[in-house]
Structure 1
Amino acid sequence: MHELRPIERALAGYRPRRQRLRHYTRRAAVALVLRETRQGAEVLLVERAHRAGDPWSGDMAFPGGHVDAADEASASRAACRETAEEVGLRITRAEGIGRLSDQLTLDHRRRAPMVVSPFVYRLDDRRTPTLNHEITAYRWLALAWLDEPEHRATLRWQLGRLSLPMPCYDCGNDRRLWGLTLRMLDELLALARK
């Protein structure tokens, strides 16, 4: 079982990798929203709505989106804004307990690099998410569940004619955690195990 206090302590002393390109490329931010339950810490996951041309549609992910001018170039502010827009949970930077390493990916609309910055927040109450049109479902997932080896699987990812094996968590009902979300969760779990 993973509890929030040790995770907070680990994040307080953690120095995540920051992409040097982050101030010169398109940037996005996501919120790993954690809450404490009797079963230990849980993380909020969302299922993105299916949209034509969106390579992440239908994926299990964290609330988040692009950093724009309204965020005054603050990625953590963008993570808070996007969480409020997508799932109706108003979190603030004061509820932030740390950040994880930047992830370099591809902005598929522009065919250019994009940096995704993950921020970790603690939610101390039982607010219920209210989903907007970008999100079709949500789930609170126990971090301890992610430690069970039988939930780790492999999926086949199609890249043109190439079929690549990719690690994932099988969440049932044809839902899988993989890619950037998986890398962020693995980093969080490594900290939680220390």
Structure 2
Amino acid sequence: MKVYLGDMPVELTGKRPKNGSKWKEDFQLTPVLNTDSKFPNLRRRRGVFFISTLPNVRSFACSTQVLDLELEIKKRKISAKIIHLASDGKDSWNEIKKLHPQLKAHGYSLKDCDQNEINILKTMLGVGVVSSNRLAHGLFVIKDGMIISSLIPKQQYGTPNIKRFLNKLQSSKHFHKIGKFTL
């Protein structure tokens, strides 16, 4: 898949997963935000999970994605857990923790994890940047082990349009089965 960083084309590994496809793998990722627990087994976990992929958590766009996703889900009273994935190490999350201690989302790092496992994750979600350790911006919704919605913006500069993504999700048949509550 090809996306853009401004005018520059960037090739991604894998393909954006189709709605209705199953979450296929378990991952051992490093916990870095609001958890010491291992990455959840999304093949078996019940409920709704938002997965947010981030190229660089120290950037304004990525920190905005972290904050806006949680605020918008909370505002809409969507019953879900939020998980952020980034290539950055644990120290990169310090500023987000300091500036936004109210965040409930869990964050995981791909840094220092098994390279084969990282490649599987990047290909499965279609967010691996070819010839780089970074992830592209992406949003994915997993319900009871099945991907029900996904977005990999063609334009990678800036933050994904979270409101539009959630509007589309809320108008889908899957959303009415999710239910609502405040995080």
| TM-score under structure 1 length normalisation | 0.23
Larger CA Rg, structure 1 vs 2? 1
Higher RCO (CA-CA < 8 Å; seq separation 6+): 2
Higher percent of residues as strand? 1
